[in-house]
Amino acid sequence: MKIHFKSSKHKQAEILFNQLSDRYSQNAIEDADVIVALGGDGQMLSCLKESIEYEIPVFGINCGHVGFLMNEDKPTDLVERISKAETAPIHPILMHATKFNGQTQEALAINEISLLRQTHNAAHCQITINDKIELEQLVCDGVMMATPAGSTAYNLSAHGPIIPIGAELLALTPISPFRPRRWRGALLPASSTVNIKVLSPEFRPQSVTADNLEVRDIKEVNISQENQITLRLLFDSGASLAERTISEQFLG
């Protein structure tokens, strides 16, 4: 098995990188069978996006804090662990953002795409689903679209629902909604196309982030699932992402 190791800049991850690359050899990513990500969930997201070009799976080893997308650091044979690992196939979501000055930018997100207010002024936006306006005006700090893989991250912190892996659903979740006061978000079919239009962008500017990429001063954003891309996360047998998302719903 040819492995390409990718380490975050955390000291623990760099130490593990040296140990594992010495033991199993470091291979060029274009020749590798698998990427082993060393670090936290941020490192995993970076490696997953890099894996798209090479169409290879990613096995993560946690050297951070939460590491929801990672496996434990165990003193066992790594090649055997990867060979026995379970695969969690996921699709990213695509953001097409238009700025107030007319410039556009696209980006993929594995966890979520989030619109956030840039100033002290509350964000005002209009939400359209599949060319039908569903919410004329949402007054809030922001709003996000989360994938099943990302539903336990920022989405959960904003009181959004946890989505089981494999469910063809996306979560549309408001961040600190003020009006409509009782609106808590929506679960949408993964085939949905969502348009979020910024109302009064000059007076109430908003930014949008696709995982860790930020675009400021936006006018509107279109979001849809990218079904042509399938990312493959590898997890130790008995500790799959699907099982973790179920267990997360029973935590106090």
Number of domains in the chain: 2
What residue type is 91 in one-letter code?
H
pLDDT of residue 252: 65
208 and 104 co-located in one domain = yes
11 and 26 co-located in one domain = yes
User: 110 with 211: CB under 8 angstroms?
Assistant: yes
The two tokens of residue 15 are 């130490």
How far, in Å, CA of 123 to CA of 142, rounded? 6
Give the range of the structural domain holding residue 213, as residue numbers without chain letter: 93-225
User: 106 with 126: CB under 8 angstroms?
Assistant: no
Which amino acids are annotated catalytic? 41
Q: Which pLDDT tens digit goes with each residue over 39-91?
A: 999 999 999 999 999 999 999 999 977 778 899 998 889 999 999 999 999 99
Q: What is the CA radius of gyration of the chain?
A: 19
φ, ψ of residue 16 to 5 degrees: the values are -65, -35
189 and 238 co-located in one domain = no
116 and 193 co-located in one domain = yes
Instruction: Give the CATH number of the domain where residue 44 resides.
Output: 3.40.50.10330
220 and 199 co-located in one domain = yes
106 and 84 co-located in one domain = no
- Laid out side by side, the sheet with 58-62 consists of 3-7, 34-39, 58-62, 231-235, 86-90
User: Could you read off the pLDDT tens digit of each residue along the chain, which spans 252 residues?
Assistant: 999 999 999 999 999 999 999 999 999 999 999 999 999 999 999 999 999 999 999 999 999 777 788 999 988 899 999 999 999 999 999 999 999 999 999 999 999 999 999 999 999 999 999 999 999 999 999 999 999 999 988 999 999 999 988 889 999 999 999 999 889 999 999 999 999 999 999 999 999 999 989 999 999 999 999 999 999 999 998 877 778 788 888 876
81 and 98 co-located in one domain = no
How far, in Å, CA of 175 to CA of 158, rounded? 6
Global confidence as pTM:
0.88
pLDDT of residue 71: 94
Instruction: Give the CATH number of the domain where residue 159 resides.
Output: 2.60.200.30
